[in-house]
Every structure is written in C-alpha cells, then in structure tokens.
Chain A
C-alpha cells in the first residue's frame, strides 16, 4: 500500500473513539437522510399517481377557460371522435374522452350533490384508477346504458346498493333542467374519503343524452407511459389539435397547481431540515480534524523541519478526512437502506397519519422504497461537506513554523 495512504489510515485510528464518534454523527444523519428522502420520494410519487389517475391524467384537451370555471357549456365538440383520432394519430391507447357535470343524486331516502363523470367504458380503465377499484358489482361496459358506479361512502350515505335506482337532477349544457334514473351497477373504494363520497362515473353516451350534450364532452384525458415522458407527449398532442383552434392542452401541473406547489412547499421545509443536519455533521468533523491537527503540532514541526512541505501535510489531513467521510457515507447509506427496507416491508405510519395525509389523496400507510438515488443523495452531500469542513484545519498547516511547532508540547 502507498505510504501516504498507510500513514493516513494509521493516523485515523490513533484516537479510535473520537473517529468512531465522528463517523457516528455521519451515520446518524445519513440514516435519517436516506429514510426521509426515500419516504418523500415515495409519498410524492403516490400523491401524483393517485391524484392524476383519479382526476386529471397527465394532460387534458379542453375548451379554453374550462380549467378555471368548469362551466357546463365550455365543451369540446365531438369529443369521442376527437379521442379516437388522437388514439390513432399518437398510436396510444391511454386516451379517453370525458364529460363532467354536477348533479343531485337521490335515492329513496337521501339526496346528495355529486360530481358525475361521463366516461368511455372501453378506454377509461386505461387512464383512471377507479375502474380497478370496484369492490362490489362490476364496472361500466356499455357506452349507452343507464348505469352508474359510485363510491363506498356515497353508497352508504345514500343507503343504496348494487341494482338500486338513483335519480340524477342537474342542469343541461344549455341551462335547462336535466333528470334521469340510472342503475347502480358497481361500487368502488379508493380509501380516500373525498373521492369515495363525491364522485360517480357513468357511460359517456348516456351522460350526453341526459345533459343534452349533443356529442360534446369536457375533456380528453391522456396518460403518458410515465411522468418523464408527459412533456414530450404534450408537444405531440398540441400539434395534433392545433388545427382545431378552440382547444387547449394543459399538463397536470397546470390542471392541479396545488399538487405541485404542495410538493414544493413540503420539499423546501424538508431541505431546511436536511441542511441543518448536514451542517451539524460538518461542525463535528471540523472539531475533530482541528483537534487532530493541533495535537500533532509537535510532530508536524519535526517532519517539516525534515523537509516535508506543508502542502503535503495538508493533503494528508484531507486524505484522513476523506477516509473517515467515506466510511461514514458507506455505513450510513447501507444502514439507511436497511432501516428504510424495514418500512418497505412493514409500512410506515403514525397515529393520526390517515387524517393528516388524506388531503393529498394518500393512504394511511405508505411503503417507502430506497433507490440508489435516495440511498446516496444525502450521504454524498454529507461527504462533500465533511471534506469542506477539513479545509480550514488543513490550511492552518501553512502557517506552521517548524521551530516554534517543535517547541509546543
């Protein structure tokens, strides 16, 4: 082994207790960082997925202004042919047409106001989670049937079950009175109260009849293979609908600005906490390395008198720090991944979590997963700050005078 490496390694273990304590500080922070970052990434992913796959998709084609006002008459004309054309032109099956109306749903005993989606039974399962969440009965299958699927909470509040009739009252696209009787064929449960209480889906054809839509709908929903490709897809969609001047394409972050901002707000407070942890570790390292330099003043004086340049001694100190930091990084990343994996298996929750996170369409228990990025992002930053902290002690060596240094004890 290289003599300098050997020297650094031995110096490191002169005070093994001190070195281990410093590494301990790194490992402690790294475990927290790995776990928290893994948890955050998992939660944001779930948040986006759950919200997008219930409400917005990755993007939608809409009439201008519909995003803000959601008025009945801000329609996309001939919405099903448009969706079919997009499916063909973009060679993608994850595209579906929808209509949306607000209405009063009445059972024999109760009436509640709900949001009613008119959907294409054939394509909706490819863009939305709801068809896969059916707990009783079945999902819609005929585009013109007078059928509806509702959430578990709504079913309970309306006191109805599969096969019961539901009366819908609302206003049609022209403001006229709209009414219909539909059959409940399925009940879905997403676990998120707001969704299970306020949303129903029915076939788009029947929806268009009831609300006098005349072939129109309110949105064409598109789902990209994953979030990263959404932007790319949006450009092709925009090109595809550009010949129809009355339509706009909105990405999910525009459709649901709250979601992205909530993530940003949460991220900035998290980064503040991470920053503090990293800085505290850096101080720990600074303290240790400063001590280890000061206590060797006598020794450094001798080797400098023998002709060693302060620059080489400085590099030695940096090498010692790098070794210590490297051990801390590897141990921390591994311990952090192990810690996270325990929660991957058992799930992470705390009392009250369900109430706290349901606003964000999250379940009461999440299963964080450590990825290579979440495993090393935090520890790497800690490592860099560790090196930065040792710069001051290493530079001090340049001010050392061999003779004076040898005199200190």
Chain B
C-alpha cells in the first residue's frame, strides 16, 4: 500500500512536469466526456418523453387481447372473457389500475366530412389518471360513465370535420357479422393532446354505448393494466399471465408499440456506441501522450531499473499516471456537463422543427435529463478502455534493458 502512494506521488509529479501537454490532453478528455454526457442527456430526455407520451396513448403497460387482435384489430377479435368474468378475475387481484375497453377502427362523419378514427369505448372512471386525456382540460365535458351517449373527439379532428361541442356526428364501423354498425352521437367534449396525430386519431365513447352499437353484448377488445413504472413491467406481466389461459394473448406495451419498444431497447446500445466512438477518438491522443511521456524519461526509467526498481513498479507508475489523467479529465467533463444541462432542464424549445419531431413521435420541447446512471456508464467505460489502451506503452516502458536505456540519447 505504501508503494502505491509513492508511485501515485511520482505519477502526479510526472504529469505536471510537462504541464502544456497535460493541459491539452485534459481539455480533450474533458470535451469528450462533456460531449458523451451532454448528447446522452438530450437523447435520453427526448426518448423518455416520447415513451411516456406514447405509453399514455396506448395506454397500459400490459395488455390482454384476442391472439389475432394485434394483427387484425377487428371487432371479431374480442377478448374471450366478458365484463363480468373480467371483474371476477382481476377485480380483487390487487392491480392498482386496470380497465377494459372496446377498441375498433371506425369512421366518423359530420355533415361535411368523413375521417377514419380509432373508436374507444371506455369506462371513464376506471381510466382516470392513466389515459392521455386530462379530463379537466376538455372543451365541454369528458364522458361521465360507460353509458354516456356522447362522443369526445380531438380538437384538431373536430376542426377538420367542421363540427363542435353540441353538434352531432355519425360513427360507423362493422358488427361481428360484418353488417354496418352505425349510430349518431352528440359531441360533448373536445380533448387536447401533445401531438396533432393523437388529436386526429381517437374518438371516445361510453363502453356500454359502444357495445350496444357494435352488437357485441358485454365483451371488449382489450384489457389494460398500468403499473408504477413503464420500464419495468415484468411483475404485472407475470401476475396477469398467471390469471388467464391460452384463449387470450398477454403483451407488454413494447410488443404493442414496436417503434417505441425498439426505441427503448436500443437507447442503451446507441449510448454505449457513442461513448466508445468518442473514447476511440480520444485514445490515439492518450496513447500518444503516454508514449511521449515514456520517451522523455527513458534514461530515468533505465536508472530506476538499474537501481533495483522492479519492472512491475514502472508499469504501475505509468498506468497510475494514465488513470490520473483520465480521472481528472473526466471529472472536469462531468462538472461541465452538469453545469450545461442543469439550466436546460426546464426544456429546450425546438418548435421550429415541430412537425419533423412529430415524425419521430417526439414533442416540440426537449427536456434534457441528467441521468446519473448514464454518467456512471460513460465514466466507467472510459476508465476501463483507458486502462486497456495504456497497457501497451506502460508495458514497453517496463521492459527496457537498464543499460541500454541509460545510454540512450
């Protein structure tokens, strides 16, 4: 242990012998570390936001469907359990939030226009809090219960249809026998959403009203379960899976929205690649610095070896020198990243490219998130790779023949 301190002191002093080189290298490491963390924070912030928005539109972290529903979201593919059986099975199982809903493609027609929508027959009380619609931020009112005879549309869709609260629209879909199922609804409310696409895509009606219209008794298209954290849905998944049999398919949200699911799965991979790329760009400079540092003091190294210092000590001393350089550089980079991200956490307005971000499925405000796990990942990866990159120059330095080294000019 004593030896370690001696070597550390030695390494620290060597580091500052040529302070210009050390400062240049420190700046490079600090900029690299800053870029790793800053970029990661931006991307992480964007993807988190996208997923949260996306999951709230699905909604639900775990869903039950008929096995064919995801491929063919038709009224014919309904969950094999009716409302009464669902209540019996899940009512007392201790789920925080769950709801069953009718979800079929439909057409909404005003006296002026027709558009395709997803018809959602819901029980508004059961979904309060996990639906993307804020019930209190609705022009007019939201649905009051499963028997509500009204429809709630997105504000943007109402615009296109030239309809408004109080006017009537016709919803049209098919019943299980492929007869046209239609019904007139009074528009009772208009909801607002982060993205135009969401406002254009959904029409909410009461669950029992929808079941009547589609002539499907008391059956539903899907059952949704919401847990505490969308990142970790396994506990609910297993709990739900244990309560049902093969007649239905239980899926995680990542399987329902494959775009967001893939996004979340790949986020960490992209981040690691970015960190490694930056490191590789840095590594040339790092190795170069070490090679130079060794070259400058070949005679000293030879002298130390001649005086009886073990080669492993030389190896250790150079490795410590490299680790110190990296650690200080990383520390500066971390602080720099923290100082630049913190003021931006209130959100960066990127609404000039709002419609482009909507293609990505992202909203027009970017909230960078300084995620401590990402910071640790970046630092650890750089230290480990830095250690490996330093091995070769350190090893060469420790293998000098003392006599040759001393006499080297």
In the assembled complex, the Cα of A73 lies from the Cα of B32 at a distance in Å of 57
**B8-28: which have CB < 8 Å to A?**
18, 20-21, 24-25, 27-28
Q: Contact between A259 and B258 (Cβ–Cβ < 8 Å)?
A: no
Q: Among A23-31, A133-141, A183-191, A308-316, which stretch is in contact with chain B? A: A23-31
What sequence of 0s and 1s flags, for each residue 90-125 of chain A, a beta carbon within 8 Å of any chain B beta carbon?
000000000001111011111111110000000000
A290–B357 touching, CB < 8 Å:
no
User: A138-179 vs B: 1/0 string, CB under 8 Å?
Assistant: 000000000000000000110000000000011100010000
Question: Is A276 within 8 A of B259, CB to CB?
Answer: no
Is residue B105 within 8 Å, beta carbon to beta carbon, of the partner chain? yes
Asked if B180 contacts A111 (CB within 8 A), the reply is yes
Interface pair A279/B31, CB less than 8 Å apart: yes
Given A113-B106, A169-B172, A265-B360; A283-B285 close (CB under 8 Å): yes
Does B344 sit within 8 A of A, measured CB to CB? no
Inter-chain contact A277/B356, CB cutoff 8 Å:
no
A58-96: contact bitstring with B at CB < 8 Å (1 yes, 0 no)?
000000000001111100000000000000000000000
Inter-chain contacts of A281 with B (CB < 8 A): 281
CA distance A157 to B77 in the complex (A): 12
What is the distance, in angstroms, from B75's C-beta to the closest C-beta of chain A?
Answer: 9
A280-B114 in contact given A264-B353, A265-B356, A355-B258 (Cβ < 8 Å): no
Which chain A residue has the least Cβ–Cβ distance from B117?
A: A113
Answer yes or no: B109 CB below 8 A from chain A CBs.
yes
Check: B265 CB closer than 8 A to any chain A CB: yes
* Interface contact A28-B284, CB-CB below 8 Å: yes
How far apart are B107's CB and chain A's nearest CB, in angstroms? 5
At the interface with chain B, which of A14-22, A201-209, A214-222, A400-408?
A: A14-22
Chain A residues, CB < 8 A from B72:
110, 156-157
Interface centre among A102, A111, A171, A257 (most CB of B within 10 A): A111
A287 B266 Cβ-Cβ under 8 A: no
Q: Please encode chain B, from 287 to 327, with 1 for each CB lying within 8 Å of some chain A CB and 0 for all others.
A: 11101100110000000000000000000000000000000
Chain A residues, Cβ within 8 Å of B28: 280, 283-284, 287
Tell me, rounded to whole Å, the shortest Cβ–Cβ distance linking B258 to chain A.
Answer: 5
Taking CB atoms, residues of chain B closer than 8 Å to A110 are 72, 74, 76, 174, 178
In the complex the two chains form, is B354's CB within 8 Å of A261's CB?
Answer: yes
Q: Is the CB of A106 within 8 A of B39?
A: no
A286 within 8 A of partner (CB):
yes
B116 to chain A, nearest CB (A): 3
B288 and A284: CB pair below 8 A?
A: yes
Query: Quick one: closest A residue to B270, CB to CB?
Result: A350
Shortest distance between the CB of B104 and any CB in chain A (Å): 10
User: Does A347 make an interface contact (CB < 8 A)?
Assistant: no
Query: Which chain B residue has the least Cβ–Cβ distance from A71?
Result: B113
Q: Interface digits, A278-295 against B, CB 8 Å rule (1 contact, 0 not)?
A: 011101101110110011
Q: Is B59's beta carbon under 8 Å from chain A?
A: no
Does residue B278 face the partner (Cβ distance < 8 Å to A)?
Answer: yes
A132 within 8 A of B: no
A111 and B287 CA atoms in complex are apart in Å by 66
Of residues A295, A351, A352, which shows the largest number of chain B Cβ atoms within 10 Å of its Cβ? A352
In the assembled complex, the CB of A320 is this many whole angstroms from the nearest CB of chain B, namely 16
B2 within 8 A of A: no
Q: Are A28 and B281 in contact (CB under 8 A)?
A: yes
Q: Whole-angstrom distance from the CB of B398 to the nearest CB of chain A?
A: 17
Chain A residues, Cβ within 8 Å of B162: 71
Q: A398 to B24, alpha carbons, bound, how many Å?
A: 21
Instruction: Establish whether residues B359 and A258, one from each chain, have CB atoms under 8 Å apart when the complex forms.
Output: yes
B355 at interface, CB cutoff 8 A: yes
Task: Say which one of A38-46, A226-234, A332-340, A356-364 lies at the interface with B.
Answer: A356-364
Does B194 count as interface, using CB distance less than 8 angstroms?
no
Q: Are A287 and B289 neighbours in the complex by a CB distance under 8 Å?
A: yes
Contact B114 A102 (CB under 8 A): yes
CB-CB under 8 A for A356 and B266, given A262-B360, A287-B285: yes
Which residues on B sit within 8 Å (CB–CB) of A355?
A: 258-259, 261-262
**CA distance in complex: A360, B274 (Å):** 23
From B111, B112, B172, B356, A263 is in contact (CB under 8 Å) with B356
CB distance from A281 to the nearest CB of B (A): 7
Least distance between A324 CB and chain B CB atoms (Å): 12
Could you tell me how many residues of chain B have their Cβ less than 8 Å away from some Cβ of chain A? 68
B277 at the interface (CB under 8 A from A): yes
Q: Within 8 Å of chain B (Cβ to Cβ): is A32? A: yes
The dominant DSSP class at the A interface is helix
CA distance A261 to B359 in the complex (A): 9
Q: Is the CB of B281 within 8 A of A356?
A: no
With both chains docked as a complex, state the minimum distance between the C-beta of A41 and any C-beta of chain B, in angstroms.
18
On chain A, the residues within 8 Å of B39 by CB distance are 269, 272-273, 276
* A53 interface residue (CB < 8 Å to B): no
CB-CB < 8 A to B113: which residues of A? 71-72, 102, 171, 175
- Supposing A112-B105, A290-B20, A355-B259 touch, asked if A18 and B277 sit within 8 A by C-beta, the answer is no
User: How far apart are A274's CB and chain B's nearest CB, in angstroms?
Assistant: 11
Residues B115 and A102 in contact, CB atoms below 8 Å apart = yes
- Inter-chain contacts of A157 with B (CB < 8 A): 72, 74
Q: Is A126 an interface residue (CB 8 A)?
A: no
Q: Flag if B291 contacts A283 (CB, 8 Å).
A: no
Contact of B24 among A32, A276, A283 (CB under 8 A): A283
Taking CB atoms, residues of chain B closer than 8 Å to A115 are: 116
B68 CB to closest chain A CB (Å) equals 11
Does the CB pair A276–B35 fall under 8 Å? yes
How far, in whole Å, are A32 and B114 apart by their CA atoms in the complex? 49
List chain B residues, Cβ under 8 A from A261. Answer: 352-357, 359
- Chain B residues within 8 Å of A298, by CB: none
Whether A287 pairs with B24 at a CB distance below 8 angstroms is yes
In the complex, what distance in Å separates the CA atom of A277 from the CA atom of B115?
48
- CB of B160 within 8 A of chain A? yes
Q: Which residues of B contact A276 (CB under 8 A)?
A: 31-32, 35, 39, 278, 281
Complex-state Cα separation, A22 to B286, whole angstroms = 10
Q: Which residues of B contact A295 (CB under 8 A)?
A: 296
Cβ contacts under 8 Å, A111 to chain B: 105, 173-174, 178, 180
Contact A28 B27 (CB under 8 A): no
- For residue B293, give the distance in angstroms from its CB to the closest CB of chain A: 10
Q: What are 7 pairs between A and B in contact, CB < 8 Å? A: A110-B74, A112-B116, A171-B114, A258-B358, A261-B353, A284-B284, A287-B289
Known: A28-B281, A103-B107, A113-B105. 11 other contacts (CB 8 A): A22-B284, A32-B277, A104-B107, A109-B178, A113-B107, A157-B72, A171-B113, A257-B356, A261-B359, A277-B277, A280-B281
